[in-house]
Amino acid sequence: MSSLRLSQTRTICDMLGGSNAFELEYTGSCNSSKSCNPFGDGIGYLPSVISLSMIQCSNDRLSLRFLIEFRNDSYQGYYSCPNLNTSLIGEGSWDAKSNRLCIIACRIYDASSSLEKSHVGDCTTRLSLRFPAILSIRNTSTIVGEIWTLKPSNEAGFFDRVEFRNSTRYGGGIQLQGLKYVFTEMDEVKKSCPKKNPRTRNSMGQYPDGYYLGFRMSIIKGSKGRIGWGSSDPLAVGDQQDQRFPFLIPSSSSKPKSSGVESNSSSDLLTISYKMSIMLPSSELDGGLNPFNESSNEYSQTEIQISAEGVYDTATGSLCMVGCRHLRSGDKTFSSHSMDCEILVKINFPPLISDRRSKIKGSIESTREETDPLSFRPLQFSGGAYYRSWATESIWRMDFEMIMLVISNTLAIIFVAFQIFHVRKHRGIGPMVSLLMLVILALGHLIPLVLNLEAMFIQDSERSILIRDGTWLEMKEVIIRVVTMVAFLLQVRLLMLSWTARCSTEKKKNFWIAEKRGLYVCVPVYIIGAIIAFLVKSRQNVDLTWYYIDEIILGSSRAYAGLVLDAFLFPQIIFNMFQNLREPALSRFFYIGITLVRLVPHGYDLYRANNYADIDDSYIYGDHGADYYSTAGDFVIILLGIFFAVIVHYQQRLGGRYFLPKRFQESVIDEELPVDSGEQLPLRYST
């Protein structure tokens, strides 16, 4: 196979800088035989991933040194340490004649005992790596390579030649000059994909042009709902004369021409190829999706990789493709030619002018006979549509939401300041403020600060991305954190004032008894609510593995904490009820203002859901992960917040038990004692 050359502006160090993970491919006879394992039987498993991490690059940027690690997992944390017992040290140089990188690798010995005693030896391992010039449905990898040993087959440490390639799971790649995609299944596409009725075209409006139709998808199964997830990205679009690779990073010598805003093509049909990756619970795999008849573990996940090519109709938004599925055994791929290419993929995209909540819908079907061992039941999926015109709107929306978040926190500062002045002005007011309410409000500002501490003190190169107009996204986030910090400090100051006032009053026993009884009511309510929130979240993710239980707990806790903040007046209402207070413990500016600060994001979310694309990851103001945001949830929370504010208003005018029957209003648990003259309260409302 032909390979691509590297340009003077794009060296091998540029191509392989940082850490690069590749998928290992073994021959069909390998399985767990020690003749296929570069480390023999010493590590107890057959590696599925090889990682090349560049340590050093030469001055001419043509030679480099690697740490080559063999792993059995598909994910490695950023801060995880390499296992030197399954690693090699390699040095390589780019061969311009054969257009490949040649690497000599050596074993690391005695690394488990001490790094000081470790040494390098046995440099008989060789690696080569190249960049294919031609891609196809059966070969979508932009980087391929192989590993072998110079040892004879009868010598200890010998292993069979192993291939490796980058895949969808480990990112895309860089587009070099001369890269082409060859469509080889178009005859089958014509047979399997009937043409749409011309009279139905343009009836729904304009559809996207097809160049940037990547999306994340949820696999749906009847009443079970979502059972899996995945991603789908276009690899190549158009014929070879005007071919583009939307999700490959172009090199300086291969930047594609601008494709315009949306579809302006004279032809409605566009050839396109896709890379699809799907994660399904092993318990949901039927016979065709589990051709090796592996034991099913309900808590494990299986990845299905599909490459497809076909025709996209820009007039109807329909995409029909023939697909090839890589046959895998567990995490191992045993042959680059083990593929099932009798698959039909159909996708329907919503029009550009449509409800932003419109979903992409599609199916993956096997065209084999049902009796065929590789046949499987159709997989239905849906996904969110993220069009370029919508993305432009989303960028403006993110800027607007950052401003709204700063304004919201600034207003919170002002309203808390009003309450501090209110407590200072009326000396007897401080003990009558619920401390539990103040603690909840203080934690509401503290938790975001703790979760985003890195944004204030650590310069992360991956997050310092230059946004349009020279504005740094990180700087905007720091401004938000600073305002949040000020709001938190004022909340703490208010808490300290109320605590000091309560401890210094002669009637502190009554207030502490009411506070304790309020805890007896509020804490069980919060615990029961948290259990219900966790059960609802876990039922929505019933088919996920136990690996994600911590995410379910954290996600549920964060959203539930937002709900507790929305109902921040609940502890004050209970406290007023036990004390049967009729005094204005809270300033109107405080409890009405903070209520508005908590409820306005829910009103904005109702507007956003109908006017912007549904991109959860980009939400800054009204973050869906920080509260319960939905059409029903927004309405309920808004009504609940207004209801609590109204109750507090009338409690401070008519008494803490005004809403109870008369016999309960008069049955005071602790006789209400008059306030000392030194702590005289205002007769009625004042700010």
SS3 for 52-72 is EEEEEECCCCCEEEEEEEEEC
Indicate whether 120 pLDDT > 60: yes
Indicate whether 672 pLDDT > 60: no
Amino acid at 215: F
Q: Compute the distance between CA of residue 459 and CA of residue 285 in angstroms, rounded to an integer.
A: 44
- 162 three-class SS: strand
CB 34 within 8 A of CB 4: no
Give pLDDT, residue 102: 94
Give pLDDT, residue 265: 42
Give pLDDT, residue 469: 43
Percent of the chain with pLDDT over 70: 75
Which of 148, 108, 142, 157 has the alpha carbon at shortest distance from 128? 148
Q: Compute the distance between CA of residue 89 and CA of residue 81 in angstroms, rounded to an integer.
A: 15
Q: Compute the distance between CA of residue 240 and CA of residue 637 in angstroms, rounded to an integer.
A: 55
Q: Compute the distance between CA of residue 274 and CA of residue 308 in angstroms, rounded to an integer.
A: 5
Higher pLDDT, 67 or 543: 67
Q: Quick one: average pLDDT of 119-135?
A: 91
Q: What is the pLDDT of residues 294-334, one digit of tens each?
A: 555 555 678 888 999 999 988 888 999 999 988 766 555 55
The mean of the pLDDT values for the chain is 78
Alpha helices in 108-202 (DSSP H): 186-192
Give pLDDT, residue 398: 82
Q: Compute the distance between CA of residue 562 and CA of residue 305 in angstroms, rounded to an integer.
A: 38
Percent of the chain with pLDDT over 90: 26
Higher pLDDT, 217 or 256: 217
Q: What is the pLDDT of residues 381-427, one digit of tens each?
A: 988 766 666 667 777 888 888 889 889 999 999 999 999 999 988 87
Q: What is the pLDDT of residues 261-306, one digit of tens each?
A: 333 344 678 899 999 988 888 777 776 777 655 555 555 678 888 9
What does the buried/exposed string (b/e) look like for 572-603 if buried means 16 or more CB atoms within 10 Å of the residue's CB? bbbbbbbbbbbbbbbbbbbbbbbbbbbbbbbe
- 464 three-class SS: coil
CA angle 536, 611, 568 (to 5 degrees): 45
Give pLDDT, residue 293: 58
What does the buried/exposed string (b/e) look like for 49-80 if buried means 16 or more CB atoms within 10 Å of the residue's CB? bbbbbbeebeeeebbbebbbbbbeeeeeeeee
Q: Compute the distance between CA of residue 665 and CA of residue 652 in angstroms, rounded to an integer.
A: 14
Torsion of the alpha carbons at 29, 31, 33 and 34, rounded to the nearest 10: 110
Give pLDDT, residue 147: 93
Indicate whether 31 pLDDT > 60: no
Give pLDDT, residue 314: 85
The radius of gyration of the chain from alpha carbons, rounded to an integer in Å, stands at 32
Give pLDDT, residue 36: 78
How many CB atoms lie under 10 A from the CB of residue 94?
22
Give pLDDT, residue 482: 86
Give pLDDT, residue 639: 95
- 217 three-class SS: strand
Q: Quick one: DSSP state of residue 150?
A: S
CB 399 within 8 A of CB 383: no
Higher pLDDT, 363 or 33: 363
Exposed/middle/buried for 542, CB within 10 Å: 0-12, 13-18, 19+? exposed
Higher pLDDT, 182 or 238: 182
What is the band of 519 on the pLDDT scale with cuts at 50, 70, 90? very high
What is the band of 538 on the pLDDT scale with cuts at 50, 70, 90? low
Give pLDDT, residue 16: 85
Q: Quick one: average pLDDT of 612-641?
A: 81
What is the band of 104 on the pLDDT scale with cuts at 50, 70, 90? very high
Give pLDDT, residue 272: 92
Residue 287 to residues 211, 278, 292, 293, Cα–Cα distance (Å): 35, 17, 9, 7
How many CB atoms lie under 10 A from the CB of residue 19?
16
Q: What is the pLDDT of residues 155-201, one digit of tens each?
A: 888 888 888 988 755 445 667 788 899 999 999 999 988 776 654 55
Place of tokens 């589990």: 290
Q: What is the pLDDT of residues 203-218, one digit of tens each?
A: 556 788 777 678 888 8
Indicate whether 9 pLDDT > 80: no
Give pLDDT, residue 28: 60
Higher pLDDT, 28 or 657: 657
